[in-house]
Structure formats: C-alpha cells, structure tokens
Amino acid sequence: MTPEATAASLALDVTSGLKTRDLEDVYQDLHRHPELSFQEHRTAQILAERLRGAGYTLTTAVGGTGVVGVLENGDGPVVWLRGDMDALPVTETTGLAYASTVDGVMHACGHDMHVTWLMFAAEALAAARETWSGTLVVIGQPAEEAGGGARAMVADGLQERFPRPDVVFGQHVAPGPAGLVSHTPGLIMSAADDVHIVVPGVGGHGSRPESTVDPVVTAAYIVTRLQTVVSREVAAADAVVLTTGQFNAGQRPNIIPAEARLGLNLRTQDVEVRERVLAAVRRIVEGECQAAGCPVPPEVSIGTSFPATINDAALDAEIAALHRELLGAESVFDFGAAMGSEDFSLLVPTAVPYDFWFVASTPEAAWQAAPGQGLGQKITAVPGNHSPLFAPDLSVLLPGVQTLVGAALHRLSG
C-alpha cells in the first residue's frame, strides 16, 4: 500500500471492476433457491466453486454444510470473514420476479445477500493480492437460524483446523434506509434462549371435565401470568423480551388432552437478568401446575441458545471510521443494541477481537412511504427480517461487498 492510500480507497479500487448485473444474477439465483438449516447443499456448492476458482484452498462439509476457503498471501495477519447461508420456513409474499421457487421456504433474513457479499468480496480480494499481505479465511456458515451452525463448525474443528484469526468480521442486512451502515461498539445483539415447557394433565372426554386435569387451561394461565415477568419483575432500564411463540395441545375439540406444550423465546442483554427471568418462568410454571392439581411436575428446559454479540469497542470504532470514508460520513450511524440475536460470536476463538455491523436495505420508496417520524418509528413500519415481505434493495449489493473488503484490507494492507 502506498503511503497516501487508505483501506477505504483500496477497497474502492479493488471493487471497481465488479459489475452490478453479476451481483444481481448471483443474488437473485440464491433467492430463488433457498435452503433450510443444514440443508444448504446447493448454496454451499456455489460458494465453494467460486472460492476454488479464485484460488482458495477449500474445505467443505465443515459442521455439516459449512464451507471454509483459505487464501495465504505472504506474511501478515489472519482475517476471517463470515457469512451465513440458511433460509427460513416462511412463505414468500413479496411478488418479486425472482421470488422463492421452494414452497414454504424463503430467504426472509437476507442470508442470500450475505453469501453474495462474501463471495464477491473474496473474489475481489483474491484478484488484488498485490495490495495486501497475510491470510484470508472465508467462512460460509450453515444453520444460523437454527442456532446450531456455529457450534457445529466449532465442534468440527474450525478453530483448530484453520489459521487462528487476529480479527473476525461479519455483517447482516437489516431494515432501514438503503445504504446506511449501523455500527455499535460493545453490545450490539442480545442473548436469546428458547424455553420449552410441558404442562402435564389428565386427559378425558370433553363432556366430563370433572374427571380430568385440563392442561390447556393451565397453560393458558401460564401464558397470561408470564406477561407480568417483564412488566413487574424486571427493572425498566433492563432490556428484556419474553415471547410465547408456541402453544400446542390436543387433536379434537371434544377431547381434553393429557398435556400441553409451550415454546417461549427470551431475549436479554445482561447475564444476571437472564437468570432472574428464567427463575421467574420456572416459578410461574410450577406454581400454576400446582394450583391446577397437575398429576406430575411440569417440565421446563432450555433449547437453542444464542450468546450476546459484543463488539470490540476499539475495533468497531476503527471499522466505523473506515466505512465513513468509504461510503460517506452521513452513511454510518449507531442504532444501539438490537434485541435480535446471532451465533456469529461462537465462531470466534477466545480473546480474538471481532466486529459485526448492519447494512440497511429498505428501498427508498418503501422507506419514504412508511408512517411515522424518525428512524425508530419507521423501522417498525417497514418489512424487516423474518417477514414474508422482506425484500432488500438491490442497490446495497455493491456497498455490502465494499464494507467487507474494506474491513479485511484494514488489517491485511496495514
């Protein structure tokens, strides 16, 4: 790198040859062919073939369907770039010409865009080896949505089989004015826990409820009482979301079932608060079951868990400054910590700094038409991640490549 060059100016040079049509073709193809968690075979094959063609040493089937490409280019730091690949069990209603062709499956969280960004960033950096020195590791991660992808890759030796990183970078598409980038030092995404509850009862005929212990009624009381946990047991300054997303019981209207099952999702930003809320959930479930005369104690278990995502503050400040230079001073803002969750940090070896940011993607017309004033109100009014209407604007394809390339060059070209 020449003395006057910066990582931002290099990123613009390195990506100057990218054609918008090529980016759109790949993205639209991936969007048409979404694959659920641990089923990302086609997506992984496309990514692997492009990385192999760019000169990366490829390892596939890491943690199931994960892809890892390594490009060694002389002495220097090791940088990991990560993108997740899986889609969601959502039926798309966008009406796009390139809408999903898979019934009941959609890239409703934008991982198709993540793969596109990762692929073209990797190719651009490989084609510009003369501008940097070090080792680049590109990771296509499966099953982020299921919460098991990062754990599966780590269990399969990701942190031992490949060069240990000096820094790890990742990014995520999100609602907001297309082209803006959100950087938050420290806590940027919350921890999440799925809580599974089995409410036992005594089944019987709907005409003779006196001979039963109705788990549906008990579960309904539990759902209602759980609403008081956040409102009455958590301080207003602590960010907590507790959602009952599943309520399953019975097969026929005239049969009182023998059990009911609830699925909760808990979002927290503090370890002590998390433990206090989980204790409250257990207390309420046990209390309601005891009050109802359930024949055996209820079951309360923790399923999929995501840790909090906590950026290295100094690193985030550096990358935010780089992105301001790359995209313009007004393009970078701090939206604060989100209640959403990620398994990105699980990939990162202990004591290695990482930075994770959001690229906003709502089309301008949709953003302008959204009701409300200010960023916070409008974001709630436009389709966001996991919505069947989520449709990132194609204009963010190239900037998303540039933000990844710039971050990598920030370390590799120093």
User: Which domains, and CATH codes, for the chain?
Assistant: 7-190+308-412 (3.40.630.10), 196-306 (3.30.70.360)
Residue type, 396: V
Q: According to DSSP H, which parts of 302-358 are helical?
A: 313-327
Q: Which of 144, 214, 342, 355 is catalytic?
A: 144
**Residue 1, pLDDT score:** 46
Along the chain (414 residues), what's the average pLDDT of each consecutive run of 10 residues?
72 96 98 98 98 98 98 98 98 98 98 98 98 98 96 98 98 96 97 97 98 98 98 95 97 98 97 97 98 98 95 98 96 94 97 98 95 88 97 98 98 86
> Active-site residue among 35, 84, 86, 312?
86
In the residue annotation, 312 being an active-site residue is answered as no
**What is the model's pLDDT at position 374?**
84
Tell me which residue of 165, 182, 164, 163 sits closest to 173, measured CA to CA.
Answer: 182
pLDDT at 413: 84
**Is position 259 annotated as part of the catalytic site?**
no
Measured distance CA(171)–CA(180) in Å, rounded: 13
